[in-house]
Amino acid sequence: MKAVWMLCWSFLRKKKLQNGLISILIMLATLLLTTAVLVIVNTGNIYSEMHKKTNGAHQILTMGEKYHDPVKVHEWWNHHEEVQASELMSYRNLSGIFFEGKEIANQFLFMMKTGVQPTAVDELTFAEGVETQLPQEGTVWISTSLAYSKGISVGDNLGFKTGDHDIKLTVSAIVIDLSFGAPFSTNSRIWMNPEDYDEEFASLSGKDQYMMGLRFDNYDNNTAIWNEFEQYLGTPYLETKREFEDLSAFYLIINKIIGFVMVFLGVVMMLVALSTIGFTISDTIIANYRSIGVFKSLGLSSARTISTYIIQYAIVTIVSIVPGVLVSFLLSGIIVGSSMTYLKSETSWIPEGGIPIGWSVGNFIIILVLLFVWLYANRTRNIEPVQAIRYGMSEEDNSKWTRRLHSSRRSSRLGLGRLPIILVIAWRNIRKNRRGSIVMLTLTTITSSVLVLGYVLLSSVMNTGQTAPQWGYDDSHAAATIFNKSEFSEENFNRDLLADSRVETIGWIGEKIGVLPLEQSHQQGGYSSLNIYVSVLRGSYDTFGFSVLEGRNPRNRNEIALGMNVARRLGVVPGDVTDVYLDGKKRTLMVSGIYQAIANMSYSARITADVVTSNPSDYSDADIVLINLHEKSEVDTLVQELNEKYKKSLTVVTQQTLLDSVYSEATSVLMLPFIIMGLLFSVVTFLIIYSICRIEIRKESKTYGIYKSLGLTSRKIRWSITLGIVILSLMGACVGAICGVFVLPLILENILTAYGIKELPLVFGGGGILAVMFISILSATFGSWLSSKIIGNTSPRILVVE
C-alpha cells in the first residue's frame, strides 16, 4: 500500500496544472448544480412557509350583488368545517395612483376597507412601519410589491385618482400581502382606515364590492367542496375566483427558469469535467505506459494500479466539492433573496434551508467522479508488461501508429505541403491531437450556446415591445384607461380621436367574468366550473395585433378564442363548441382559435362585443380604449395631449410603458445569474484549452525544437498552434449559436407551458449574438496563445533534449 500512496502523491505533485484545472471544473460544476437545487428548493420552501405562517388563502373570491348575495356566500363558506374563510371585506376599484407628482402606470388598485388585524385568512405581515390593528386616519398600508418596485417608503405621500377629486394619503406601513404581492403584479391592495374609506367613497358613484379568502384544510378536496357550494347556489359561481396556482405562480416562475437553466448548465459542466478527467487519465496512461508495464512486472497488481488514480482523484474531488457547496449556499441566497425580496421584512426573514440537500448533491458528485475514474483507470488492466516495455504502448496501438505515419506521408504527397507552413502545422496539431481537438470543439460549442441563450433570453425580455402579441398582449400604440365615467363622454372622445389625422383606428375593450362548466362534473351531478377573465372587444382583434397559436381570433357573435390552458382543461380544439356563462346567461359558442398569454397563465378567453349585445355600439362596459396611429413616432405627443385634455376622466400611456412596468423587473432579476454563468463558462473554456494545449506542447516539445532549429521563429510556431484553436473555436461557436437560438429555448418552453406560454417569444439581435460568440472564441484563443509561451522561452536544444 505504501507504493500506491507514493505513486499517488507523485502524480499529484507532477500534474499540478492538470489537477488544478480538474479541481476548478468539479468545483464549478458543484457550484452550479448545488445552487440550482437550492434555488428551486428554497423558493418553494420560503413561499410555503410564508403561506403557512400567514394562513394564506388558497382561493380569493370577489363579488358584487349582481349575481350572488355576498353575505350568503360568506355564511356558507364560513360554516363549512373543512374551510377557513376570511372576513367579508369591502373594496372599491381605482386605476390611478400618483407618487412624487408622477402617475405610476399599469397599476389597478383594490382600495380596501381594513378590518381589525390579524385576519383569519391572509394575515398581513408588517415589513416596515409600526404594527397597528388599523391604519391611522389619513394613512394607508401598501404591499411590498408596490413599495419595493416603485421605491416607496414609510412616510411618503400617495395620490389616488377617483375622478371627482384626488385622495391624498400617507404610507404608514408596508405589509407582505401574500395574495396580491407577487413579483410583476399589476394588482395591489391598498389598506385604508375604515373612516377614511367611508368618507372618501360615500359620495362617489358605484357600489362597494366584496372580497374574501378561502383556506382549505386539504386543498386537494376543493373540487368536491365547490360541487357542494354550487349545488347550494343552484348555478355555477358566476363571479371572480382566483386559484392558488394563479396566486403563487409569479413568486416561483423566475427562480424556476433560473434553476432549470443552472441545472442544465451544471450537468453540462459536470460532463465537461468528467470528459476532461477521462482525457487526462487516458493521456496519463499513454504517457506512462512503459512505467506502468515496469510496475506490473515488479508485482504491482492491476487493482492497486487503479487505486492510485482513484485515491488521487478522490483527494482532488473532495478538495473541490467543499468550497463549491459552501459558495453555492451564498450564491443561492443572493439569487433567492433578489427574487423573493417581497417576502422579506425588517424584523424577520424566513431562513433558507436545504443544507443537507446541498451536501447530498456534493456526495453524489463525488460518487459520480470516482465511478468515472474507475471506468477509465480500468484500462490499465489490459496493459501487458512485455508490450509496454518494448513499444511504450500496446502492440495493436503501435500498428495503428505506424499506419497513421504512412497515411500522413501520403497526405503530404497529395499536396498538403503546398499550403503555408503555419496552416500545415495548425492542421497537423488538430489532426494528431484528435481527442483534445474534440474536447476543445465541444467546449467552445457549449460555451457559445450558454452565452447565446443568456443573451437571447435577456434580449427577449428587454424587448417585449417587439413580441407583445406572442406574450398574449395587443400590439396597439397606446391605451387609454377610463377611471371616472361620470366625467367622461364617449361620444366626444370618439369624435376627437377620429378627427385627429394622426389616429388610424380605435377599439374599445372591457373584461367580464366567464364561467365554463367542466364536463366531468356534470356527469357527477355537480356544477364544478372554471372561472376565467373574458376580454370583450368592440372592434377587430386582428387590427390591434392579438395573435393566436391555432385557428383565428373571434369575428362573429357565435365565436370565442380560448387561452391554451383553458382549451387544455376543456379538451377542445378550434371548431369545437363549448358552453360559457356570461352576465349570468349560458351561451353556446364555437372555438375559433387558441392563443397563449402570460397574463392569467392563459386562463382567459376573447369574444367580440356582439356576443353580449345585439348592437356592438351599445356595449358600455369597456373601460380601455386601444389606439393605433399612422406613425408610431407620434405616440408620445398624442399621449401627452390626451392626458392634459382628459385628465379628470382617463389616463393614457404608450404600450411600451405598460410592458416596461412589468418586464423591467424580470430583466433585473435574470441579469445577475446569467452574467455569472456566462463568466464561469468563459473562464472554464480558457482554463481547459490552456491545459490541453500545454499538455500537447510538452508532448511535442522535440518537434517544436526541430522546427526552431530549422529556422522557424517561436512566434510563427505559436501563431500556428493558435490558428488551429481559432478554427476549432469558430466552428464550435457557430454550432453553439445554433443550439442557443433554436435548441435550448425548446427545452425551456417545457417549464413555461404551465404558465401559459407554449412558444417562447424570442428576439434575435444578430450583432449581439455575434458579440457573445466572439467571447467564447476569444477565451479559446487567449488560452491557446498563453499556453504556447513556453516555446518562446525555451532554446531549441533544450526542447530537443526534452
Please give the Cα distance from 348 to 118 (Å, whole number). Answer: 17
HEC string for 53-100: HCCCCCEEEEECCCCCCHHHHHHHHHCCCCEEECCCEEEEEECCEEEC
Distance of CA 528 to the CA centre of its chain: 33
Q: Report pLDDT digits (tens) over 166-177.
A: 889 999 999 999
Query: How confident is the model at residue 520, as a pLDDT?
Result: 44
- In this prediction, residue 540 carries a pLDDT of 92
Q: How much is the average pLDDT of 432-439?
A: 77
Give 35's Cβ-side CA count (13 Å radius).
29
Q: Specify the pLDDT at position 136.
A: 92
Over residues 397-410, the mean pLDDT reads 53
Question: What CA–CA distance (Å, rounded) separates 763 from 756?
Answer: 19
Q: In this structure, are residues 446 and 688 in contact, taking their beta carbons and an 8 Å threshold? A: no
Pairing of strands 187-192, 108-113: parallel
Q: Is residue 488 within 8 Å of 508, Cβ to Cβ?
A: no
Per-residue confidence (pLDDT) for residue 560, from 0 to 100: 96
Helix (H, G, I), strand (E, B) or coil at 713: coil
Confidence of residue 473 (pLDDT cuts 50, 70, 90): very high
Question: How far is 525 from 772, CA to CA, in rounded Å?
Answer: 59
pLDDT interval class at 65 (50, 70, 90): low
Residue 691's φ and ψ, nearest 5 degrees, are -65, -45
3-state secondary structure of 410: helix
pLDDT of residue 623: 83
* Secondary structure letter of residue 135 according to DSSP: P
Q: What is the pLDDT of residue 4?
A: 64
Lowest mean pLDDT among 274-283, 378-387, 722-731: 378-387
CA distance 268 to 709: 43
Query: Does position 545 have pLDDT exceeding 60, yes or no?
Result: yes
Residue that is written with C-alpha cell 356544477 in the block: 527
For residues 406 and 706, what is the distance between their CA atoms, to the nearest angstrom?
20
Q: Please, are residues 759 and 749 in contact by the beta-carbon 8 Å criterion? A: yes
Give residue-wise pLDDT tens across range 738-755.
Answer: 988 888 888 788 878 888
Q: What is the pLDDT of residues 406-424, one digit of tens each?
A: 555 444 444 455 667 777 7
Q: pLDDT tens digits, residue range 125-164?
A: 999 988 889 999 999 999 998 998 888 999 999 998 876 6
Asked if residue 554 has a cis previous peptide bond (ω within 30° of 0), the answer is: no
What's residue 210's pLDDT?
Answer: 93
Burial class (CB in 10 A: 0-12, 13-18, 19+), 156: middle
Compute CA distances 678 → 320, 535, 685, 779, whole Å.
Answer: 20, 41, 11, 12
The residue ranking higher by pLDDT, 703 or 83, is 83
What's the DSSP call for residue 549?
S
CB 621 within 8 A of CB 513: no
**pLDDT for the residue numbered 339:** 74
Predicted TM-score of the model (pTM): 0.81
Across residues 416-444, what is the average pLDDT? 76
Residue 589: pLDDT over 70: yes
Percent of the chain with pLDDT strictly greater than 90: 25
Strand partners, 176: 125
Q: Where are the beta strands (DSSP E) in 279-320?
A: none
Taking a C-beta distance cutoff of 8 angstroms, is the pair 733, 438 a contact?
Answer: no
The SS3 of residue 695 is: helix
Over residues 538-543, the mean pLDDT reads 92
Which pLDDT does position 522 carry in this prediction?
Answer: 41
- Check residue 677 and report its DSSP letter: H
The answer, yes or no, to whether residue 386 has pLDDT greater than 60, is no
Element (H, E) at 579: strand 577-582
